[in-house]
Structures are given as structure tokens and as C-alpha cells.
Amino acid sequence: MPSFHRVIRRCLAVGWLVILGLPLGAQAHPHGWIDLSVRLILDDQGRVEALHQRWRMDPFYSLVLLEELGRAEGDEPLEARLDQLGLEIRDTLATQDYFTEVSHGGDALTLGEVSEYTVMERGGRVEFIFLLPLAEPRPLGEATLRYRVFDPTYYIEVVHEADDRAPREDALVVGGDHDCETRILPADPDPAQVAEAARLDTDDQAPEGLGRYFAETGEVQCRIE
């Protein structure tokens, strides 16, 4: 039976590292999806400090991860194995800015390092939950904050939690008692980009940044006194 750490590496190879471009199965992009929820964290002065994100892996990749973890030797409980997987996921995504772009008033914001995170199984789905801080708190004023979360290679599609194809109200919220409006704008790729993604299969290397054109955009505008 394979060792625990070997299984962790294999889980990443067949599951989360698919996000970084390691494909499974011959099919056009995307190969799976993540259901996303975001909570914007503001301090008492109305400055944005962080984006609290929850990623729910689709049922297939969740099943792959859980089965691989279950095959590992040793007597560690599933929770401990998920914790180790979370560390590996965090370290891998750190090299890609956690697939997150944030801007405020048109200015790109620098992200900090993730130190608070967890991985859990809930309802048969694997969830990666983490707090993504900004490098420095940003006063919001009246300018709009925008973010996108996407796999640059578009092997995995990231979409906000939705009901009947419309984003749920709790897919983007602002923490605390603040007067804010939120919107989730659908992706609007042009026909050439859609055709390019449809042509790609497991033998092709997707152009870096293709996923950006298929990313939803979250918008937050607050009235801070």
C-alpha cells in the first residue's frame, strides 16, 4: 500500500494540480469546475483587508481525492490527511497568486500570503477554504473593488455558487455592518476565444491567461462614512 505522503502527491497530480494544467481524460476545456463563494473582509475603518474564499471541487474530482486519501497506509484519520493536502494545495497555489486578481478603482492590488486555510469533506464534496489577505488594507471610498478567480489555463472552470444558473445571494457578501452593494458579472468571451477553448484537448497546451476570458467578475461598492 502506498505511503501517506506519496498518496498526497498523487492526489495533487490527479486532482488539484489538474488546475495547474495536468489533464485528465480526452475532452475539450474545461475538465472540471469549482463552485466559489467569497466574503469580503473590511475593518472598522471600512478598509478591505482580505477575501475569504470557499472553493468546492466538483463531485468527480472530490471522489478522486477522497478515494486516493483512503488508500494511503497508516492510521491517520481523514481529517489529518485533508490537513496535509490543504498545506500542499496552499503551497502550490501560492505560486499562482491563488488564481485571484483584485483591483480597486482600476488599480491592481497586491496580495499577501495565505496562513489561514483548511480542507474538509462536506456532502461528498472536497472544500478548500482560505483567507486571502491584501498586502496592505485598502480604503474603499466610492471606487469599485473588482476581483476575478480563475485557472489561467482553463482546465478548471471557476464559477460562483448558483441556483438555476444565477449566482446565489450568498456567493458574494461583505462581512460586518457596512452599506455595500455587490454584483457578479458573467464572463463574456468573444466567439474566437470560445472556439479556441473548444479546440483544446489533453494533447494541447492552453495559452497562459485563457481562463481570464471565461472568469466571472465580482464587484463591490460601499458607502463608507
List, as one string, the DSSP characters of 136-202: EEEE-TTSPEEEEE--TT-SEEEEE-EETTEE-GGGEEE-SS--EEEEEEPP---HHHHHHHHH--T
Rounded to an integer, what is the distance from CA 214 to the centroid of its chain?
14
- Render pLDDT for 33-78 as a digit per residue (tens, 0 to 9): 899 999 999 998 889 999 999 999 999 888 888 888 887 767 888 8
- CA angle, 193 then 198 then 202, to 5°: 120
Cβ-contact 104, 48 below 8 angstroms: yes
The pLDDT mean for the chain works out to: 83
Q: Which of 21-30, 76-85, 86-95, 127-136 has the highest mean pLDDT?
A: 127-136
Pairing relationship of beta strands 162-163 and 166-167 according to DSSP bridges: antiparallel
pLDDT at 4 (0 to 100):
45
Percent over 90 (pLDDT), the chain: 47
Model pLDDT, residue 137? 96
For residue 18, the Cα-to-chain-centroid distance in whole angstroms is 13
Say whether pLDDT at 127 is over 70. yes
pLDDT band at 193; cut points 50, 70, 90: low
Dist CA 93 CA 217 (whole Å) = 20
Q: Is 69 helix (H, G, I), strand (E, B) or coil?
A: helix
- Selection from 203, 211, 210, 191 nearest residue 28 by Cα: 203
Q: Is residue 198 classed as helix, strand or coil in its secondary structure?
A: helix
